[in-house]
Amino acid sequence: MNRGNSRDWMWSEALQMLAQAERLHGQVFRPQRAATRVATWEPPIDMLETEQQVLVLAALPGVDVAQVEAVIQNGTLVIAGERKVPEELRTATIHRLELPQGRFERHIELPAGVYGDVKRFAINGCLVVTLAKAGGRRVRP
């Protein structure tokens, strides 16, 4: 194979891979109808632990925290809700759409322990869920 054909082949492969990535991105982040109750994406999270509590930060820009469900089920924190498509999207020309839309749900396995007071609030585009440790300090294995 000469150098020209090799370069053309590599370029062709690269373009095919980019096209495939664009198709997958479109499938994953496609706006969903409001009636759809199936989760279409998971928000990224950070989980931190102190002596008194476990803190979970979920990146949810543009989501009304009051509409987000945060419950503990069998030692797992479940965060669920919906990022609604902005009204402007219906008439706007879209140049880039990277923030996922539609129903989201994230299951986060919690450290062993018993949790009492569950609080949530928004800060800097994140949902913060604080889980107070019941019974004081967590015993590490």
Q: Where are the domains of the chain?
A: 1-30, 33-133
Tell me which of 3.80.10.10, 2.60.40.790, 1.20.58.60, 3.20.20.100 is the CATH number of domain 33-133.
2.60.40.790
**Amino acid type, 122:** A
Measuring CA to CA, which residue among 100, 84, 121 is closest to residue 44?
Answer: 100
Question: pLDDT tens, position by position, for the chain (141 residues)?
Answer: 555 566 677 777 777 777 777 766 665 655 544 444 687 899 999 999 999 999 999 999 989 999 999 999 999 999 999 998 778 777 888 888 888 888 999 999 999 989 988 899 999 999 999 999 987 544 444
Binning the chain into helix, strand and coil, the percentages to the nearest 5 are 25, 35, 40
Its pTM stands at 0.66
